[in-house]
Amino acid sequence: MATQTAFVPSRIPTNTRLPPKPAQCFSKRLEVTEFSGLRSNSCLTYAKSAREASFYDVVSAQLTPKTAGSTPIRGETVAKLKVAINGFGRIGRNFLRCWHGRKDSPLEVIVVNDSGGVKNASHLLKYDSMLGIFKAEVKVVDNQTISVDGKLIKVVSSRDPLKLPWAELGIDIVIEGTGVFVDGPGAGKHIQAGAKKVIITAPAKGADIPTYVMGVNEGDYTHEANIISNASCTTNCLAPFVKVLDEEFGIVKGTMTTTHSYTGDQRLLDASHRDLRRARAAALNIVPTSTGAAKAVSLVLPQLKGKLNGIALRVPTPNVSVVDLVINVEKKGISAEDVNAAFRKSAEGALKGILAVCDEPLVSVDFRCSDVSCTIDSSLSMVMGDDMVKVVAWYDNEWGYSQRVVDLAHLVASKWPGVSVKGSGDPLEEFCETNPAEDECKVFE
């Protein structure tokens, strides 16, 4: 498999005025953190707004992790992994927004496959009924290209993955967001078309496709698998806090109900559907339906196989869902305070950025654009008798899930042959010479 070792020229923009040597240009060192949202005074973590482009952005956007064992070369960088999005629907567009918010991403989205063409792709990316107006400049460049803050993204349109130009474009990772190609033969068509890896943004069909949930089993990932699954949004909510409960108290058995916002799979008005309940008008009914989320937990926590099951209630809200879990535990004599304490410990430790705890009396809309996979509603935690525990957790089934897809893609990039992720993560670390005493960055001509 080819490694990302091809160097491409990179230089400070010609319109940037720098003094000639021997004078030195000093600029205060800027701190950049991963996109994890702005934390408010409450328990919520929200997506932060896009900041204005600066000289720092221009430079850092050109810098990516260096190949292992290589010596930094001034003016040259390693190419980013090329990413294609197949299916530019709710998750596809959320993924692109999430990726765009991470200025130090080792990925570069260069193409989307969307049956609607460039006008639809551009318009629906810019204007979103859930997320609001995208704070980025989105334009149609020509009949095959859009630009996002100056980054050119090709738009292709084909329902057959075998006909997609992945080989021609040198695609490394395909984000499979159609919900159609979720098994080996289907997702494998992207590999046949020339892509190197496929991340399915849905539960995979078939035991041959490994499933990963960030915060739970991402440590098991190896580069060998060409097709992987990010599980479902509900499994991404459920698995992290189930892991905490099992480690702290020992799960004997349990059931889960997800009160889930309606999705594009349902019908706006009564119409034919293979699931007769989903055939009914989504915005007018509470629709009981099946979910494999609870059983899928065993794919990432094998010790829980056969111990969990559940159902879904689709409700007339467009976004944000909530999981209600009831379990029997091995440990006796615990309290709701003990349960919440275990969650708080994880939220500040191993699951920071994945799990949060909320003590305020909030409702679903308050969790819109929450970056974490699940937020425990501490006031609703209960313990009945000696061994029955009830936990309620909120999740943004679009935005929070898409953040984890980006995280998983970054994990794949970090394990790419020849790529090193050593260092502080500051894109200017190897570009600048830093004076530790003054914490300044010297940028030379």
Kindly state whether residue 370 falls inside one of the protein's structural domains.
yes
Query: For residue 242, is pLDDT > 90?
Result: yes
Strand stretches in 388-445, DSSP E: 388-395, 433-435, 440-443
Kindly state whether residue 425 falls inside one of the protein's structural domains.
no
Cis before 161 (ω within 30): no
pLDDT at 416: 95
Give the H/E segment covering residue 98: helix 90-100
25 is catalytic: no
Same domain, 346 and 248: yes
CA 77 remoteness from chain centre: 25
pLDDT, one tens digit per residue, over 92-143 is 999 999 999 998 999 999 999 999 999 999 999 999 999 999 999 999 999 9
The domain boundary, picked from 379, 397, 415, lies at 397
Q: Which domain holds residue 199?
A: 81-209
- Cross-sheet strand order for the sheet of 25-28: 25-28, 440-443, 433-435
What is the spatial distance between Cα 404 and Cα 294, in angstroms, rounded to a whole number? Answer: 18
Q: How large is the average pLDDT for residues 369-388?
A: 98
How many domains, the chain? 2
Kindly state whether residue 51 falls inside one of the protein's structural domains.
no
Kindly state whether residue 188 falls inside one of the protein's structural domains.
yes
CA 340 remoteness from chain centre: 26
Query: Is residue 375 a contact partner of residue 393, using CB atoms and an 8 Å limit?
Result: yes
The domain boundary, picked from 397, 416, 436, lies at 397
Kindly state whether residue 85 falls inside one of the protein's structural domains.
yes
Same domain, 270 and 158: no
Kindly state whether residue 13 falls inside one of the protein's structural domains.
no
pLDDT, one tens digit per residue, over 396-413 is 999 999 999 999 999 999
pTM for the full model?
Answer: 0.80
Query: For residue 48, is pLDDT > 80?
Result: no
Catalytic residue among 43, 98, 233, 374: 233
Same domain, 180 and 260: no
